[in-house]
Structure 1
Amino acid sequence: METALAKTSQKRQVMFLAILLLLWEAGSEAVRYSIPEETESGYSVGNLAKDLGLRVGELATRGARIHYKGNKELVQLDIKTGNLLLYKKLDREVLCGATEPCILHFQLLLENPVQFFQADLQLTDINDHSPEFPEREMLLKISEGTQPGTVFPLKTAQDFDIGSNTVQNYTISPNSHFHVATHNRGDGRKYPELVLDKALDREERPELSLTLTALDGGAPPRSGTTTVRVVVLDNNDNAPEFLQSLYEVQIPENSSVNSLIIAVSARDLDAGAYGSVVYALFQGDEVTQPFVVDQITGEIRLKRALDFEATPYYNVEIIATDGGGLSGKCTVAIEVVDVNDNAPELTLSTLSSPTPENAPETVVAVFSVSDPDSGDNGRMICSIQNDLPFLLKPTFKNFYTLVTQRKLDRESQAEYNITITVTDLGTPRLKTEHSITVLVSDVNDNAPAFTQTSYTLFVRENNSPALHIGLCRRSRAASVGRCSVPEGPFPGHLVDVSGTGTLSQSYQYEVCLTGGSGTNEFKFLKPIIPNFLPQGADDEVGKTAAFRNSFGFK
């Protein structure tokens, strides 16, 4: 029998890298499917078995299953046909937001033997959202002395679609004083500006109401509208100007609420109320923004906690407006710096228990690990206890298999409690532990044996029938086995269970255990000492009903 677990001084660790060796037989290129978002559930995406070059029968015999990160069920595999079926309607905007292309990754896992295949599902956008403005009405205060050609920024409409299905153009209701110009931002989005074509006359028309329309590029196009209310003021010669058009700042994601992020500043050359500047967030509702700006000082502070994993950066637009209604605008680019605030996650895909004791390198468990943090904060190390006969092996990307290092010995240890520890490399280091219990199943690898080669029992004469003569003990290394006597005649004059029970002579008889080979002697001798008690009466005994019936033992 093998000795107890070998000691090792070095802790076995497996470094989780961004790209591991692809130890799967099907190759490294993923099978990719593409469907429009909002496709009905049950839709057949494709035949995965055929596309991977597998026989349909292999799916059931090899324990095929679909695995997703975080156990989100997107598609189902019909193991009878090999078809990949859509589990439910998928909303591209919910799953991917503004990310393009929207690709969902999943794996086909074959358990016996272990093999992985990478597959991707791309969701294409449909025009299912209309442009929406953040406010139902925009207010502009414009001096009657403003020169034609002056440009006034307008708030943009939001469209959750992407590509040509998002906002492509802005129009303004017909009027004699303004037109709207549509411009491209660096990220491809469109934004509108109101251009003064003809000077205003407050005495002639103190207020104008215009309808601004945003159109997307769908077929047919969707649209959204808002009202632009223009209030004509007396002369205000200068608009506020920021010292910088772009401010850039970094802030850790664990910054406390009300932390000062940055202070912006604008100046206005006018005097009095026309030179007094008030600051405000320009784009978006303050309820949805995690920042707040002081309208007097221009200080931008944190209103609620940040989360790098949810939103790694913000572009915040600040508007400065003077007492005459003129305004200037700047952009504050805020980068959220990741901190190690997420512990690694472990997802157990399969667990094989019990495990045969005579099968080295048997796959006991398959699991995957993940950490949403970035950089070293998202790099991980997997390990188990040093004193166990098991190994962790990297298989496919973030997957690992737990295998037996050598043959196990159920008679030495029938159960193992294994703790899988996943630790990231951030500061401070965060870890996750997952415990599994592995049972060892028995195989017939031990022959039965008596604890001694012969037994001598002393019995006094004139005993009653079925007297308890003595005890024998057998080794019980195996989990099964029984005690019996060999076949053959047993002399009736030796033990007469129906008469006096007197032993008339010494006798030697073989007793053996089934389940193995070899024999051991059991001797019956003529009594020589009166009233001598049977030996081994208090010993632990291993005997069976067959043994008792053959000799008349109790």
Structure 2
Amino acid sequence: MINSPIPENSGETVLAVFSVSDLDSGDNGRVMCSIENNLPFFLKPSVENFYTLVSEGALDRETRSEYNITITITDLGTPRLKTKYNITVLVSDVNDNAPAFTQTSYTLFVRENNSPALHIGSVSATDRDSGTNAQVTYSLLPPQDPHLPLSSLVSINADNGHLFALRSLDYEALQAFEFRVGATDRGSPALSSEALVRVLVLDANDNSPFVLYPLQNGSAPCTELVPRAAEPGYLVTKVVAVDGDSGQNAWLSYQLLKATEPGLFGVWAHNGEVRTARLLSERDAAKHKLAVLVKDNGEPPRSATATLHVLLVDGFSQPYLPLPEAAPAQAQADLLTVYLVVALASVSSLFLFSVLLFVAVRLCRRSRAASVGRCSVPEGPFPGHLVDVSGTGTLSQSYQYEVCLTGGSGTNEFKFLKPIIPNFVAQGAERVSEANPSFRKSFEFS
């Protein structure tokens, strides 16, 4: 046995040098050596009776890690005699193999609303090398999508490749995601490989049906009008609902849960259409309230209830009659309207009063200013009452004028106000002017 193993990546290498001899003489003492032809080794003769065992090239430990070589030594005598000698060659490992995953891609399934730290699956890789060269560690590789919060979704056990969801997953928010895992050996230099992991989130029936129509948000109910002349099967309305789940968890069915008058209306199970079940008559109540149950096909099933209001009318021109439930809301609206009208009237009255007060104050101030600047009847040549002087051009007592001088004026103007007999105003003014020339410059009749 050769003491030192041969590295598998070594080229042509001398494994052993040995000599052989035969005590006979002549051809009987001449010998030759040989080995099997199917081995990656050969014997190279050197000097007489000396041989060298040489490897043909690089060996592959992963294919064969040990060789048992039988060296056959034969003389050239007659008969030929031979001897066999065995040599064991060990091939040492070199880190020339990267870890290999058992699958190039993995698909794992996890149901939504899982508990944190749940084991969702494993990946596995093996290395054909030996020793530390075959020890594999696992890791998560950076995701190709930078927006994927991979570090908050999953983790991997570095020693065994087990994958633990880190938080509860929601199918409605994330249906699937994928990432890559790496497997690295501990050789020098280390070699690695990677595999794709795709995680599919399975839907759980965690959403109840949601009614889109009619609205169920507590607002004033929407009333469907149905003519009393409607035939059986008349389409009253349609309940529209959706479910946030998928698959059979989102398959919805409808049924009439409660009605004011059973047997008058029916609901189609698969599409939510509400139709009349028979002919209507005058004896049927005008107002009806229906409760429709919407149920999904999940396990366990979830449901919601839709409330409908139906009003039977003789014709669509008949005015709308509010339902009792809507009366309080209408009364509140009317009361609010009254409040608004009263408030508007109050504001308008206050504004009008303010305007009148402002005008009155301005008029009062103008009146005071006018009284301060007003002139009195001049004294001196003008008596309080003009005396009638016949034939002299003076005014008689019956022809009186209210005369005032314009105060503060430097033009000595005077004014005749309210003539008693207008026909003689001009003549009287002329005579007054002649009697007192200082007041001739201007005059005015009122």
What TM-score, normalized to structure 2? 0.43
The structure richer in helix per residue is 2
